[in-house]
Amino acid sequence: MFRSLTAVTPVLMGITCVSSGIGLIATMVGIRLGLEEVPAHLTSLVMAGYPLGFLLGCLFGRQTISAVGPVRAFAAFGGLATASALGLALVDDAYAWSVFRLGTGFCAAGLYTVAESWLNARATTTTRGAVLAAYMITDKLAYSGGQALIASGDPAAPTLFVAGGLLLSLCLVPIALTRVQAPVVAGPIRYGLGRLVRVSPVAVVATVACGIGNTSLALAGPTFAAAIGLDAGQIAVFMALVFVGGLTLQWPIGWASDRFDRRSVLLGALLATVVAAVVMAAVGTSAPALNILGFVFGGAVFVIYPLAVGHANDFADQDEVVGVSAGLLLCWALGSVAGPPAASYLMAWFGPSALFFFIGGIYGLAALFTVYRMRVRAAPPTEAQGPFVAMPTTPAVAELNPRSTPDADEAV
């Protein structure tokens, strides 16, 4: 296992640079939109850029990688992502920012696809779970770490965008210097929406809700914090705690989902998210209260996606696991395009707290649908459930899912 992790260390170093740069830039964009009181129609345009680019990258990025090879594609995606970050520093125009954010989203999907294909190629049946866990931890900690840089500069100046571009450019170094053989990137995985709904309607609804709610939080959360008067350091702490909470509580909740009806655990996470969101909307400008609630909120909200994927895979055949997981990721990506623009309009019309009422409402609807489905479809026996797998919402991570291998129970 140690040898397998050592073999993928350059890839994990590259992902550290990618995720920290993306996290820094995403929060900075949200802060600037809030500080400059950009009109709602322009804010929604900018916020839609990254998730739309990410969706397009999930759909078409593999064709680019197949055409030129993974190493060249990684270099191209890294260079274009850097240029997009520097464009934010050089041009102060919302329409241009939306284009730059679209480019960043597309390139991020490409970078993650290459990195995850590399990890998949180096993982074995017995080490796949450990490799995926190391990747998950690296991704979440790096994204949270990017927030720490916000407190070191003036959010009104272009310096932090330059820092984000610098981090993105550094992702090229460990990949360029590695001696590990480049992976063969598989073609796009297609799994129809109708088939997904037949496998698990709850998983489809929950993953769409995750796309709407989680992306709204990640992109509009800094705008909310700036609008209620938090300074850059307080915003950085708040956003970091949300993501650290999401990482910390993955495995305890996942442990519970392996021992009880997974759908009931999913319902509990949905309801906890609703309660935390409503309370966060009500606490106003108290930074300490927001920090505590943000940690709890992140712990509940970021476990919903892997719980939903795990629940769907409990009903899928083993040879469908990768297809189901990839299809649910596209459901998430579609939701992520719709969420931030809707959140920006609601915040403009009803005030900053509307963000969390919106997120709470989305997850409340998902919880009601889950209750309905629990009445019309029996859950599989607990002993027949597969093991919980913590996973990020990135393009090729489905292929790393240990449940897609014959000895899944031993691999996790």
Query: How many C-beta atoms lie closer than 10 Å to residue 194's C-beta?
Result: 8
The structure's pTM equals 0.85
Using a 10 angstrom Cβ sphere, with 0-12 exposed, 13-18 middle and 19 or more buried, the burial of residue 231 is middle
Provide the CATH number for the domain around residue 237: 1.20.1250.20
Amino acid (one-letter) located at 35: L
- Helix then strand count (H, E) for the chain reads 18, 0
The 10s digit of each residue's pLDDT in 155-169 is 888 889 999 999 999
pLDDT of 359 reads 94
Token code pair at residue 73: 């594609």
Place of tokens 């719709």: 338
Query: Is 411 a domain residue?
Result: no
Q: Domain containing 359: what range?
A: 2-178+191-403
Query: Is 185 a domain residue?
Result: no
Dihedral sign, Cα of residue 57, residue 215, residue 18, residue 400: negative
Q: Backbone phi, then psi, for 394, in 5-degree steps?
A: -130, 160
Q: Which residues contact 152 (CB under 8 A, 6 or more apart)?
A: none
pLDDT of 388 reads 63
Query: Is 355 a domain residue?
Result: yes
Query: Is 383 a domain residue?
Result: yes
User: CA 45, CA 401: separation in Å to the nearest integer?
Assistant: 34
Token code pair at residue 33: 């939109």
pLDDT of 404 reads 56
Query: Is 412 a domain residue?
Result: no
The series of mean pLDDT values per 10 residues for the chain, 412 residues long, is: 64 88 91 85 90 88 80 88 93 92 92 80 66 80 85 83 92 77 59 72 90 90 87 87 84 75 85 91 81 89 84 70 75 89 91 92 94 79 64 64 53 42
Q: Distance from CA of residue 321 to its chain's centroid? A: 20
Query: Is 409 a domain residue?
Result: no
The count of domains in the chain is 1
Amino acid (one-letter) located at 55: L
Query: Is 183 a domain residue?
Result: no
